[in-house]
Amino acid sequence: MSTEPVATEVGRDFIRDIIQADLDQGKHKEIVTRFPPEPNGYLHIGHAKSIALNFGIAQEFPGRCHLRFDDTNPVKEEQEYIDSIQADVHWLGYDWGKNLFYASDYFDRLYEWAEQLIRDGLAYVDDQSQEEIRTSRGTLTEPGKNSPFRGRSVDENLDLFRRMKAGEFPNGARVLRAKIDMSAGNINLRDPVLYRILHAHHPRTGTKWSIYPSYDYAHGQSDAIEGITHSICTLEFEDHRPLYDWFIEKLPVPSKPHQYEMARLNLTYTLLSKRVLTQLVRDGHVAGWDDPRMPTIAGMRRRGVPPAALREFVRRIGVAKANSVVDVGMLEFCIREELNRTAQRRMAVLKPLKVVIENYPEGQTEELEAINHPDDPSAGTRKITFGRELYIEQDDFMENPPKKFFRLSPGNEVRLRYAYFVKCTGVIKNDKGEVVELRCTYDPATKGGNAPDGRKVKATMHWLPAATSVPAEIRVYNQLFANPSPDASNFAADLNPNSLEILSDARVEASVAESNSTEPMQFERQGYFVRDKDSTLAKPVFSRTIGLRDTFAKEVAKG
Ligand code: ATP
Ligand code: MG
């Protein structure tokens, strides 16, 4: 479990301002926040924003942050999700200590409180169908209609509710509703459902319950039970606040949390909805929740995104009260910045083209020194073997180059990184006329990459020795969606058909293949890559975390 220290640079935002003011006024001695995921899927980068905010606040102010699973809907919830959520929060660098809770821990108390609402004439059992309840709710402009069952006596309601609990009725036969006001301007106050019948196995309470509380009924009371002082959620719950406050007012809760709403994180080229992410997995559009193209924490971890880059990203986007869409380039920028600082440099050839150095003696090799990190001498150096047969990148050669192509072409001289100047002297083609091998000469006087006579070359290229480099599969990822604002209701149409490119003939340095490290590396001139769990003994697999080119920074600079 990762517990690396989290940057404590404190940004200011309206929530932190409120908390500071509450502390200054002595409203609280200790700030208690919580991150309340529903365990019905894996966490995504939007959740990372909420995690960093809630856990961050608990680190910056005297206080604590709870991890609470809002596990009120057993039909969609699974232990796998509970486990993955815990792993992901830890990986992001946050820890709830002993403050791990489940809404299901409170099912007994929530039930007692529901009976109390019935006894106080504030809740009733409704026999209408789901459809009838929906249509009698009214609209934004029309009031709802009272249910014909709204006038039931307390005794009848109690009896029916207890029999719902005892499992006497089938799914959907009845619900418990709050008795508030069917003509309230706020639709959330039009007799919302508190309990529904659901004969379903729950990951934690098993078959004990045949009724389950609604999210709206459970959420605020769970906060109150835990003594949450600042209950932070996203804007879509703003209209639910009057309902949460109604429960808090009517029930003998041990504390009165206050809810604050902030903007959701939205990203271009990305959908952050668990419904969509679940469907992507179920329909096989991706290889799983941790597919490196997924915006999930697990996907990003597998892709080699460092947790520090995610923390920096959510710090930069800040916390606002108005929804907006963040350019995914900003996330990529943060990933690149972090990896540029931390990733060791290596060489890999994604699409190899063989090169024979004709004037290099057959059977001879030599060890050259390569730098592991240009800005960090403590990262040290490593040896790479130069010899007569090498590989370069196919894209680094053109037989008939246009004017501004400075890399290898017949008669042109370039530098091979850490090695020598080489010049192309011949081209070998197959039957189809494709270039399959190059003939070159090298200048032994240019060892290390500089000519004693001061002559210059315009290109420095990466390369690998043919004999000791290792075959590898390299996976290059592009945006999962081709549309900058994909349509959540018809997302399949917006999928990018080229989101995964597999390069199965790639080659990497021997040192890269031998290491089992899951630390991302920079493959020089290509980007940042990380070893994937699909690697086999016979063939390592590397995923591209991100390319080197930073179009976002250029756009920012342009203004
Ligand atoms: P979805 O709507 O995709 O199902 P959710 O909001 O229902 O996601 P939860 O598990 O209920 O998922 O979310 C846990 C917490 O994370 C909530 O407090 C929620 O407000 C917050 N959260 C979810 N998505 C985002 C987002 N895109 N940006 C910021 N916070 C988010
Ligand atoms: Mg939710």
Determine the 3-state secondary structure of 487 from DSSP: coil
Indicate whether 449 belongs to any domain.
yes
pLDDT per residue over 149-189, tens digit each? 999 999 999 999 999 999 999 999 999 999 999 999 999 99
CB atoms within 10 A of CB 441: 17
Domain assignment present for residue 154? The answer is: no
User: What one-character-per-residue DSSP string does 67-116 give?
Assistant: EEE----TTT--HHHHHHHHHHHHHHT---TT-EEEGGGGHHHHHHHHHH
**Which pLDDT score is estimated for 515?**
82
Distance (Å) from CA 47 to ligand 1 centroid? 6
Q: What is the pLDDT of residue 549?
A: 84
**Mutation to probe ligand 1, out of 230, 234, 319, 324 (largest number of atoms < 8 A from CB):** 234
Indicate whether 555 pLDDT > 70: no
Q: How far apart are CA 273 and CA 278, in angstroms?
A: 9
Q: What pairing do the DSSP bridges indicate for beta strands 413-416 and 421-429? A: antiparallel
For ligand 1, residues with CB inside 6 Å are: 36-38, 46-47, 49-50, 233-234, 264-265, 272-274
Confidence check: pLDDT of 7 > 50: no
- Centre of ligand 1 from the C-alpha of residue 308, in Å: 21
pLDDT at 426: 97
pLDDT at 551 over 70: no
Confidence check: pLDDT of 132 > 50: yes
Please say whether the beta carbons of 145 and 120 come within 8 A: no
**Cα end-to-end distance, the chain, whole Å:** 41
Extract the tokens encoding 362.
């057959």
Q: How many domains, the chain?
A: 1
Q: Residue 194's closest CA among 259, 117, 139, 127?
A: 117
Residue 355 belongs to domain with CATH number: 2.40.240.10
Q: Give catalytic status of residue 274 as yes or no.
A: yes
> In the predicted model, is pLDDT for residue 318 greater than 50?
yes
Out of 68, 152, 274, 507, the active site residue is 274
Out of 76, 109, 150, 264, which one is annotated catalytic?
Answer: 264
Token pair, residue 138, equals 């009214």
Residue 1 pLDDT exceeds 50:
no
Rounded to the nearest integer, the mean pLDDT of the chain is 95
The pLDDT of residue 550 is 67
Q: How far is CA 152 from CA 27, 177, 250, in A?
A: 42, 12, 20
Longest CA–CA span in the chain (Å) reads 102
Note down the domain range covering 440.
346-468
Tell me if 431 is assigned to some domain.
Answer: yes
Nearest to 509 by CA among 427, 409, 391: 391
Q: Is 38 a known active-site residue? A: yes
Helix ranges (DSSP H) in 469-537: 510-514
Tell me what pLDDT residue 403 has. 92
Contact 77, 39 (CB under 8 A): yes
- Ligand 2 centroid – CA 273 distance (Å): 10
Asked if the structure places residue 445 within a domain, the reply is: yes
Distance 279 CA to ligand 2 centre (A): 17
pLDDT digits (tens, 9 = 90+) for 26-35: 999 999 999 9
Stretch (H or E) spanning 528? strand 527-531
Q: Is the pLDDT of residue 57 over 80?
A: yes
Q: Which residue's C-alpha comes closest to atom 22 of ligand 1?
A: 47
Residue 139 CA to ligand 2 centre (angstroms): 23
- Would 451 be classed as within a structural domain? yes
pLDDT tens profile 328-353: 999 999 999 999 999 999 999 999 99
- Mark whether 509 is an active-site residue: no
Classify residue 24: in a domain, yes or no.
no
Query: Is residue 456 included in any domain, yes or no?
Result: yes
Residue 6 pLDDT: 43
Which residues does 509 contact at the CB level (< 8 Å), separation at least 6?
A: 346, 347, 348, 384, 464, 469, 470
Ligand 1 atom with the smallest distance to the CA of 36 is 14
Calpha distance 471→526 (Å, rounded): 17
Ligand 1 atom closest to residue 274's alpha carbon, by position in its atom list? 3
In a domain, 306, yes or no: no
